């Protein structure tokens, strides 16, 4: 039996889960932890790359190569399929085509592309602007036509719900599916009824619910979302936000107390770190090599 591609592994995970939870991993080590505890799909946020790797806001200020650097690190560390946020595709049809080819080459299982203008904003912020339906369809067609792996999973994200309402967003979703998208990412949806209407509007095609904290969408449970048509549930930056607060607490404690005693219980232990990294396997190999050298 031939080995599944990254896209194939994602499709298999999607078939076996209802819905499939997709967790954000902003670096290789977080991806390793997510994989170890049993998650079947992971995600790299464009905002996460901008914030975590470059110290920039999520305002379309990073490039394809910036994102690819983190894609390569993550896919080199884990087998769990990775979905990547490619924002608006970084340009016209040729740029989008190159992006999909590069993402596949670097080991991504799929991506989502959105209908905001190039000067994009976070999907849960006000004053977003979106392109025409026709331009979004062209983006999706460019992405789909660029596939070098038939299983590479292309998700069309629409921000039209917040801008133009449910009917317009569903119309865009239908057009994107007709253009070849494998699923729909309905951004900044407010209620479970809206998800149900989206699902009905796309005839039960794959629907992603973005359950990000501190945004426009309540923190619905997976069972609620499954009952209302979502087949994928995304948590793009949950671990990142938790890690940020933990780090801030440590920095403040060191200045305040002069030591880390008050916060050491909030830290991952050295032995747990080594366990996730398989440190001892490497060390034993090193010991064996040294022993072999001594016996020569």
pLDDT-derived band at 128, boundaries 50, 70, 90 = low
Q: What percent of the chain has pLDDT over 70?
A: 94
Spatial CA neighbour of 178 closest among 202, 199, 194, 150: 202
43: annotated active-site residue: yes
Whole-model pTM: value is 0.93
pLDDT at 17: 96
85: annotated active-site residue: yes
What CATH number does the domain located at 6-237 have?
A: 3.20.20.60
The single residue of 35, 58, 151, 182 carrying the catalytic annotation is: 58
pLDDT-derived band at 121, boundaries 50, 70, 90 = low
Instruction: Tell me: pLDDT of 1 over 50.
Output: no
> Taking residues 18-27, what's their average pLDDT?
97
Known binding residues for substrate: 45-47, 122-123, 157, 187, 210-212, 241, 270
Known binding residues for Mg(2+): 85, 87
CA distances in angstroms from 197 to 68, 170, 211, 236, listed in the order given = 35, 8, 17, 23
pLDDT-derived band at 122, boundaries 50, 70, 90 = low
112: annotated active-site residue: yes
157: annotated active-site residue: yes
Q: Where in the chain is the domain with CATH 3.20.20.60?
A: 6-237
Q: Which two tokens stand for residue 13?
A: 């995970």
Distance of CA 38 to the CA centre of its chain: 16
What are the pLDDT digits (tens) for 218-231? Answer: 999 999 999 999 99
What are the pLDDT digits (tens) for 49-97? Answer: 999 999 999 888 899 999 999 999 999 999 999 999 999 999 999 999 9
Alpha helices per DSSP H over 49-106: 54, 64-77, 93-105
């Amino acid at each position: 039996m031939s080995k599944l591609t990254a896209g194939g592994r994602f499709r298999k995970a999607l078939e076996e889960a209802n819905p499939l939870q997709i967790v954000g991993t902003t670096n290789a080590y977080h991806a390793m932890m997510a994989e170890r505890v049993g998650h079947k799909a992971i995600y790299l946020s464009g905002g996460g790359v901008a914030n975590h790797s470059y110290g920039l806001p999520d305002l379309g200020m990073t490039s394809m190569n910036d994102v690819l650097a983190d894609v390569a690190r993550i896919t080199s560390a884990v087998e769990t399929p990775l979905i990547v946020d490619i924002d608006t595709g970084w340009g016209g049809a040729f740029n989008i085509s190159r992006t999909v080819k590069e993402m596949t080459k670097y080991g991504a299982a799929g991506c989502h592309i959105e209908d905001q203008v190039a000067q994009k904003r976070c999907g849960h912020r006000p004053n977003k602007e979106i392109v025409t339906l026709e331009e979004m369809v062209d983006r999706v067609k460019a992405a789909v036509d660029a596939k070098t792996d038939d299983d590479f999973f292309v998700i069309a994200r629409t921000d039209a719900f917040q801008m133009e309402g449910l009917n317009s967003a569903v119309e865009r979703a239908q057009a994107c599916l007709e253009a070849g998208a494998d699923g729909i990412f309905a951004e900044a949806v407010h209620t479970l009824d809206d998800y149900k209407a989206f699902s009905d509007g796309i005839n039960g095609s794959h629907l992603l619910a973005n359950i990000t904290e501190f945004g426009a969408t309540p923190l619905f449970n997976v069972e609620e979302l499954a009952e209302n048509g979502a087949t994928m549930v995304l948590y793009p930056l949950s671990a990142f936000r938790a890690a940020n607060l933990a780090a801030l607490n440590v920095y403040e404690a060191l200045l305040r107390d002069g030591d880390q005693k008050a916060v050491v219980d909030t830290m991952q232990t050295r032995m747990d770190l080594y366990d996730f990294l398989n440190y001892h396997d490497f060390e034993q190999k090193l010991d064996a090599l040294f022993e072999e050298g001594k016996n020569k």
